[in-house]
Amino acid sequence: EAGVAQSPRYKIIEKRQSVAFWCNPISGHATLYWYQQILGQGPKLLIQFQNNGVVDDSQLPKDRFSAERLKGVDSTLKIQPAKLEDSAVYLCASSSGIVAGTDTQYFGPGTRLTVL
């Protein structure tokens, strides 16, 4: 079974530029998550999708971050404009969405973003 795919693996941009990350979840997984992991910290949930609907985006900085999952499969996370403090690893995860509350999340390899 193929795992969660993400691209690109690395990205370096200047502040105020825009950037987009792509994620393809495990086949058949209804739930998709985007996390931000700053160096030395645990991952922090940015947004959670169930199929193509948003379940939780309470920690997404909506003035600069946006995410979509239009067809309920792959997803894109965008930052515009980027700030220095956005430097982090952006992790995508997916889960089956079948077992409420005890659903195991499987993570992709992440995108390491450096903002100069």
Partner 1 sequence: EDKVVQSPLSLVVHEGDTVTLNCSYEVTNFRSLLWYKQEKKAPTFLFMLTSSGIEKKSGRLSSILDKKELFSILNITATQTGDSAIYLCAVSTGTASKLTFGTGTRLQVTL
Token pair 């795919």 is found at 5
**Nearer CB in complex with partner 1: 59/80:** 59
Which is nearest to 78 in space by CA: 36, 20, 34?
A: 20
Binding residues for partner 1, rule: CB under 8 A, are 4, 31, 33, 40-45, 48, 50, 55-56, 91, 95, 100-110
**Nearer CB in complex with partner 1: 31/79:** 31
Taking the complex as a whole, the smallest distance from the CB of residue 80 to partner 1 amounts, in Å, to: 25
Taking the complex as a whole, the smallest distance from the CB of residue 7 to partner 1 amounts, in Å, to: 13
Taking the complex as a whole, the smallest distance from the CB of residue 70 to partner 1 amounts, in Å, to: 21
Rg of the chain's alpha carbons, rounded to an integer? 13
